[in-house]
Amino acid sequence: MSDLGDFADHGRDDADDGDAASEGDDYDRPDLDDVGSDDGLGALAVSEGLRIHEDGRETELKAYVTAGNRSAVRLGTYLVAPYPGGEKLFCKITGLEYVQAFESDDATEIHARRAMRSEGVDEQDYKFLADLEPVAVLYREGDDLKRRMADRVPKPETVVRAADDATEIKTGLKIPEDGVFLGHLSVGGEKVRTAAEPPTIDYRVKDDYEAGDPLVFRHTLIAGGTGSGKTHGAKNVLRQYLHEDRRYPVDSGGPERRMAVVQFDPQDEYAQMHDDNPDADASDERQWETQGLAHGGHDDTVAFVPKVGSASYAADHHAAEQVEFTVPFSMVRDNPWLVASSGLNDNQYGALYLLLDRFFADYGESGTYREFCSFLDDPALKEELDESGRVHEATYEAVFRRVNGMPNGLFDQDARAITDLVEDRQFVRPGRLSVVPTYHVSDSRAAETVVLAVSSLLVDQKLSNDPRYETIKETPLLVGMDEAHNFLSDADSVQARKVVGKFTEAAKQGRKERLGLFLITQDPQDIADPVFKQVNTTVVLNLGDEDAIQAVNIPSSLQSKVPYMEKGQMVVYSPDNSEPVEIQGLATCVTRHGRD
């Protein structure tokens, strides 16, 4: 590299206008030694400083990239630079620039026209510098490769090479060796390649108590716009959690059980996970087998279809079993906001509590919604509560209007109660994917109430110290919620605060209770902040909305990539799992996907 350094320092004797050397032959070009072959991409340059600092903004680390290697480097490319003694600096490219190698002005008419007439630029006339960000120092402890923060400055002219060893790359980025597969490590949409077989680097999420708590119980958010591939990606991930060999202990030292997944599905897409993907060919299956991925239809997939009024569910796009259910009015006893939706203030909400207590005391658990409406339509009851000062007449009337304004056919329909299906161990069962489609329910308020009723049942039983349904308490559970922004929004109402409070507490207790939230959305900015803050793993696909990109709270260097990502490209921000990285999801879905 000394020859290259001498070459870079050679100047030209320019005329006053800077163009005397325009013909390019008026100076002596040093001869480079053509014997042997270059090793690496280039070398660390000290001309502009070589410094590592605790404040990353003060770090100065640049590499000179030789002419023949310049087309191969990209922003985000991972590099290694050795230290004396065997340690290595693992870093990535964060900036690329051309710098003039000679004291001449090439922003002139003569230079521009000569460039327009030539077949290309002579790369050796310019320096090509790469800004490097130190990620970690790699070192050996016995047979193990480990990482620590960058605490040493490399030597000047240290040769830098593209990282091509899978173990070094995974260690440098803190990616676990085992876990649930999300995709392949990539840079700029291209998979990172190694010299090993397979040449790609799989990105996995911790799923082992020996490596720390499984991150599934510390919650996942998948955010992406329409057409970004978020449902495709979500199916691939959920299928891995349903792998027959994947098990979790419910209690410390207790028996291990398979995960139960309950997926709320407003677009009626997830019941297809019952079926094989007809677009998957033999090469896809070989690749999946090599990587140990669960693939193919998941036989134990059941579509639990809410019966709401006259709405009918027709599904010719999947072969999963279909079981109708209804939401019994008895569920309102523990969650009164289900019968009020929104619009009640704190005072009115207190009145609703009192009236429900009176109603269930008279009618018992079998009391229905229609019976409650008739119970409220009693002038004597309204007068009694008003005269006693317990519920003002105007407050009573507000509750009456809100309860009677619920969508028709929401409660107590001609189908099995969801609570009965839970008690019979049908709705929540180890290894089962229970899908709750709501696409057929045209009334959005009714669909929202169904999702919140069933999800609240699951959360309440998971968090209860005295659960009514042991099957929920004793089963590792992943609650998936597509279009999560519709259910966990940060709205300013009593009902929204209660829903958000419930799911925030569920998220906080998830690790202990073996409860994971799997939220999917195209509007992450609308998810309530208390819930969002509990999410440990954020997967971001293409998003075009600036507010949405800001809301996902990923590093700014990755935010800038999000609007340009192609279908299946993702950014993963999971501080307890790895450095922030870009990955490429599987091109083919491991189960059926799409209605063709």
Q: Give me 21's structure tokens.
A: 């050397």
Q: Are 359 and 375 in contact (CB under 8 A)?
A: yes
Beta bridge partners of 136: 90
Q: For residues 554 and 533, give the distance between their C-alpha atoms in angstroms, rounded to a whole number.
A: 13
Beta bridge partners of 481: 264, 519
Alpha carbon separation from 93 to 64, 74, 80, 110, 131 (Å, rounded): 12, 7, 11, 34, 6
Per-residue pLDDT tens, the chain, 596 aa: give them: 433 333 333 333 333 443 433 333 443 434 444 444 567 899 999 887 888 888 877 888 999 999 888 888 899 999 999 999 999 999 999 999 998 876 667 777 776 777 777 776 677 778 899 999 999 999 999 999 999 999 999 999 999 999 999 999 999 999 999 999 999 999 988 999 998 888 999 999 999 887 678 999 999 999 999 999 999 999 999 999 999 999 998 876 678 999 999 999 999 999 999 999 999 999 999 999 999 999 999 999 999 999 999 999 988 899 999 999 999 999 999 899 898 866 788 889 899 999 999 999 999 999 999 999 999 999 999 999 999 999 999 999 999 999 999 999 999 999 999 999 999 999 999 999 999 999 999 999 999 999 999 999 999 999 999 999 999 999 999 999 999 998 898 766 677 788 888 899 999 999 899 999 999 999 999 999 999 999 999 999 999 889 999 999 888 888 989 999 999 999 999 999 999 999 999 999 999 998 76
Look up the pTM and report it.
Answer: 0.88
Give the pLDDT score at 111: 67
Element (H, E) at 420: helix 418-423
Give the pLDDT score at 553: 85
**Quick one: which of 577, 575, 520 has its CA closest to 224?**
520
DSSP 508-552: HHHHHHTEEEEEEES-GGGB-HHHHTT--EEEE-----HHHHHHT
Length of the chain: 596
DSSP assigned state of 40: S
CA 438 to chain centre: 23
Q: For residues 522 and 226, give the distance between their C-alpha atoms in angstroms, rounded to a whole number.
A: 7
Q: Are 514 and 259 in contact (CB under 8 A)?
A: no
The identity of residue 231, as a single letter, is: T
- Cβ neighbours around 567 below 10 Å, total: 15
Give the pLDDT score at 204: 97
Q: For residues 63 and 132, give the distance between their C-alpha atoms in angstroms, rounded to a whole number.
A: 7
Give the pLDDT score at 100: 80
